[in-house]
Amino acid sequence: MSFPLLILFGFAVLLLILLGWVLRTPRVSAKTYSDSVFMDQSDRRNVTYFPQVRQALAVDDFAFLASRGSRSLVCRVRKERRRIALAYLESLRNDFLELWGLARVVASLSPKVSIAQEFERLRLGLTFAVRYETIRITFLLGFAPLPALGSLSEVVGRLAIRLETAMRDLGERSALAANLASSLDGRGLDTP
């Protein structure tokens, strides 16, 4: 098989794979995002737990333990607290993904979408994923970059507040539209 034909063949196989993937039912739909996830969890975002995580990873704590306890105890505590920090980082990522998804919902409900902004967000999402993995590995290797983790939490928190306001606004508009729709009859349409 010649090279151009090989490219065509590969492209067709890739398209078939993509078709199969794209037709799978997505885990979370736009409706689920706007109706339940955000509204239900907006009051308990993970960024609020930063002071506890900071305390858990404080260098002073380890110094104190090292002076009073055994080395094995320090190791055990450090391991345990690193696990907590990783769980916290994971929850920050979940917050980011949730907010990122909500930004997409805002875009999907808008009558005009800026392509540049959408591409920018896509790029940011990909960059975030790469950096998140890097930091996670850094944590796993025994590093604890606390000050930046604090500002990271702050950013997620601020974004959450802004989006919460926007989603509430959209929710009110959707409710208004639903009321208008329900006041009209559905003649000529067959219901599923």
Partner 1 sequence: MGRFPLYILLLWASSSVAQLVVLALLVPKGKFRKLPFFAAYVALDLCQAIFLVGVYSAPGLSDVTIKDLAWYSECVTLVAQALATTEILRVTLRPYQGIWGLVWRGLMFTSTLVLLLVAMATRGDWEKEKWFELNRGYHLIFAAAVITCLLLIRYYSIHVPAAYKMILAGFCFYSCTEILINTVLQAVLKKSFDAYQPIWQSSTMLSFIVVLFIWAAALWQPLPVEARPPAPPSDSIHQRLSPEINERLRELNENLLRLWKLEARPQ
Measured distance CA(26)–CA(21) in Å, rounded: 10
Tokens 């392509």 correspond to what residue?
115
For partner 1, give the closer residue by CB, 36 or 134.
134
Long-range contacts of 174-179 (CB under 8 A, 24+ apart): 174/34, 174/109
For partner 1, give the closer residue by CB, 73 or 176.
176
Is residue 79 a contact point for partner 1 (CB under 8 A)?
Answer: no
Q: In terms of Cα–Cα distance, which of 88, 167, 70 is closest to 132? A: 88
Q: How far is the CB of 15 from partner 1 (least distance, A)?
A: 5
CA 69 to chain centre: 40
Applying CB under 8 A, which of residues 40, 59, 72, 185 lies at the interface with partner 1?
Answer: 59
Q: How far is the CB of 190 from partner 1 (least distance, A)?
A: 4
How many chain residues are in contact with partner 1, going by CB under 8 A?
Answer: 86
Only segment of 37-45, 47-55, 172-180 that touches partner 1 (CB under 8 A) = 172-180
Applying CB under 8 A, which of residues 159, 179, 185, 187 lies at the interface with partner 1?
Answer: 159
Is residue 75 a contact point for partner 1 (CB under 8 A)?
Answer: no
Is residue 40 a contact point for partner 1 (CB under 8 A)?
Answer: no
Q: Classify residue 156 by burial, with Cβ atoms within 10 Å: 0-12, 13-18, 19+.
A: buried
Main-chain dihedrals φ then ψ at residue 57, nearest 5 degrees: -105, 10
Site for partner 1 in 101-140 (CB under 8 A): 101, 103-115, 117-118, 120-121, 124-125, 127-128, 131-132, 134-135, 138
Tokens 């980011």 correspond to what residue?
96
Q: How far is the CB of 16 from partner 1 (least distance, A)?
A: 5
Measured distance CA(98)–CA(104) in Å, rounded: 10
